[in-house]
Each structure stands twice: as structure tokens, then as C-alpha cells.
Structure 1
Amino acid sequence: MQAMNAPVKKRLLELLDELIAHDGFGSIKVDIRLLKRGQKEVIIDCGKQYRYVVDFESRQEKQGA
């Protein structure tokens, strides 16, 4: 599961580094939307939008296993 999130985490850290180094102000917004069962869409908005679809396991599925 962690490997599926790696590109999202990498992009967030890169954008954070860019904003800290930027000579001015900036913001990062992260939206997470539930898609079909077992997937979420992660949208990172920082001037541009970066969209990722990641698999996830719900708490109910974890408890039932």
C-alpha cells in the first residue's frame, strides 16, 4: 500500500521544498475524493494541479480480514 502512495508523497515534498525556497508566498491544497470501491483520487493544487489515483483499503475491510 505504501508503494502506491509514494508518487503522491514525493510530489508533495517537492512542492513544499519549492514553496519554501520561493521568494514570496504560496499555498498547497490537497483534495481527496472517493472513487469506485478501493480507489481514491488525490488532487494536489499548487498553481498547477497534480492528479493521482491510489488504491486504499478501508477500515472495514481491514477489520474483516
Structure 2
Amino acid sequence: MSEIKDNKTDKVKNKLLELFDDVLTHDGFGEIKIEMRILKRQQKEVILHCGKQYRFVIDTPQQPSND
């Protein structure tokens, strides 16, 4: 599995980790759901559901070539 480095994807990953920590320390039930939709112009919309919705639009990462 390759790691994708991009400023916008880092924002999504940081928010996901923040939500994970919040649910983990919460005294009770918690749920996190991730939704990804394909948009035009090689972009994806990432929606994180955790009580609220956090929406991000990111460029679709290009697959690294295995040469």
C-alpha cells in the first residue's frame, strides 16, 4: 500500500484522526463513516460523518508507476 502525500489529503487524514481520537475518548457509543464520490475534473468528494458532516474536495491522486 502506497502513501499519498498531498496538502489537501493531509487535511482529510488529520480530520479523520481527530475524529477517531474524539470517538475513542468519548464515554459511550460513537460511529465514523467515510463516503467518497467521484466528481468531474479528476476530483473526489470525501465526506466524514461523525455527528456532523465534514466535506472535502480533493484531486484524484495519480497511481505511481512501478517501473
Give TM-score, length-normalised by structure 2: 0.81
Q: Secondary structure at the match of 2:20?
A: helix
Within the candidate set 14, 17, 21, 2:18 is matched to: 14
Q: Secondary structure at the match of 2:45?
A: strand
Percent identical: 51
1:34 equivalent in alignment to 2:34: no
Structure 1's consecutive aligned runs of 4 or more residues displaced over 3 angstroms after TM superposition are none
Q: Secondary structure at the match of 2:49?
A: strand
Give TM-score, length-normalised by structure 1: 0.83
Unaligned runs of 5+ residues in structure 1 are none
Shift, 1:58, TM fit? 4.9
Q: Secondary structure at the match of 1:37?
A: coil
- Could you say which structure has the greater relative contact order, defined with CA pairs below 8 angstroms and 6 or more residues apart? 1
Q: Secondary structure at the match of 1:27?
A: coil
Q: Secondary structure at the match of 1:23?
A: coil
Within the candidate set 1, 6, 9, 1:2 is matched to: 6
Contact 1:38 1:58 in 2 (8 A): no
Distance 1:32 1:53, change over 3 A: same
